[in-house]
Amino acid sequence: MSRVGVIGVGHGTFGRRSDATVQELAFEAFRMAMKDAAIERSVLDASVIAAVPEYHKQRSVAGVVQEYLNLNPLPTWLTEVACASGSAAMRTAWMAIRSGLHDVVAVIGCQKMTEMETAEILALMGRVGEVQWESVFGTTFPGYYAMFANRHMHEFGTTHDQMLAVAEKNHYYGARNPNALFRKEITREKAVASDPVSSPFCVYDCCANADGAACLILAKDEVAKELSKKPIWLDGVGCATASMSVLRRPNLVGLPSAQEASKQAYGMADVTAADIKVAEVHDCFTIAEIMAYEDLGFCEKGRGGAFIDDRQSYIGGKVAVNVDGGLKAKGHPIGATGVSMAYEIVRQLRGECGERQVPDADVGLTHNVGGIGQYTFVHVFKRD
């Protein structure tokens, strides 16, 4: 079967983008990706748009984005699996190319989060959990992940200080990313003094909503080699699901969907966790990154806190994780996040990240979680 290569990438600035509509955000990233790939629109066969429509005033977001990008009458469609929508769009494009249906596909993740009030967003996110038995009792995203954090602390002795070490690392790298929402380093002392959110979390344990967009151009093997001197290959794709209700999960110290998705992606790409040089993981909350270290096999179960304490997820450690700032510092425009992760990995494998560059990066990974682990996508990228 033909490999699928990434031949172009683009990324806008994440933040409170009152200067742009969702389609303008999409165009910002699309234009960069097309320039990066050095191709014209006529080369494209289709587009896949990733967005969560509930957050937009506009319904059928794919249609307005496709029109604004002047891509009609090419086929387009929308993917939505909560916060993993961007990775779902990439998997969909990968399948379309591998099937032989299309040769070159644009994947665009875009989201306007700030058209709604925070209370409305919290209510929407709370309903990602099971509506019948959980969200009716007032569940929120911070509340769900706080349960994971408390259980991890109980079973393994993980500390809140270790969680805030994740925030400190990600803000350190986010300060060096011009596309990030937060571009300032923080101290552990400042983090721990921030307002409480949901015990044990304080403000600096939590990522922030943002507006933004990112874009990838994917192409089949022979076309990628013809069009690009530096294709990055999407060689492993894994996807798995878990119960909507966290009460039916086997435990609250990891995501079974992430564990299964990583096995699939590693097997398809013929790599192990030890081969990954740089990773983008879904750090919606600090405990989520610690659980990801364990779920992805970077360290043993229960050792995630020690992993960050020992700086093993910094550049120079065992595997560099979220060196673009992650969701924590970069921001989380949910439809764009998975594509943004892939953008960072592609540029790392090309050696284009300047002071954030991971030395000798030849294999990278993205880990993108939808909901509270109901959906997880793991993608493995390689360079020749």
- Give the residue extent of every domain in the chain: 4-116+209-227
Which of 11, 56, 83, 102 is labelled catalytic?
Answer: 83
pTM of the shown model = 0.97
**3 state SS of 123:** helix
Helices (H) and strands (E) in the chain, counts: 13, 12
Specify whether 83 is catalytic. Answer: yes
232-279: per-residue pLDDT in tens? 999 999 999 999 999 899 999 999 999 999 999 999 999 999 999 999
pLDDT in tens, 216-231: 999 999 999 999 999 9
Active site residue 282: no
What is the fold of 4-116+209-227? Peroxisomal Thiolase; Chain A, domain 1 (3.40.47)
Taking residue 208's Cβ as centre, other Cβ atoms within 10 Å add up to 17
Q: Is the pLDDT of residue 178 over 80?
A: yes
Average pLDDT over residues 113-122: 80
Angle at alpha carbon of residue 251, lines to 132 and 317, rounded to 5°: 125
Q: What are phi and psi of 13, to 5 degrees?
A: -80, 130
What element of type H or E holds 5? strand 4-11
Catalytic residue among 332, 353, 367, 379: 332
Concatenating the DSSP letter of every residue in 276-308 gives --EEE---SBHHHHHHHHHHTTSS-TT-HHHHH
Confidence band of 1 (pLDDT split at 50, 70, 90): low
More confidently predicted of 119 and 99: 99
What confidence tier does 57 reach under pLDDT thresholds 50, 70, 90?
confident
List, for residues 69-86, the tens digit of each pLDDT value. 999 999 999 999 999 999
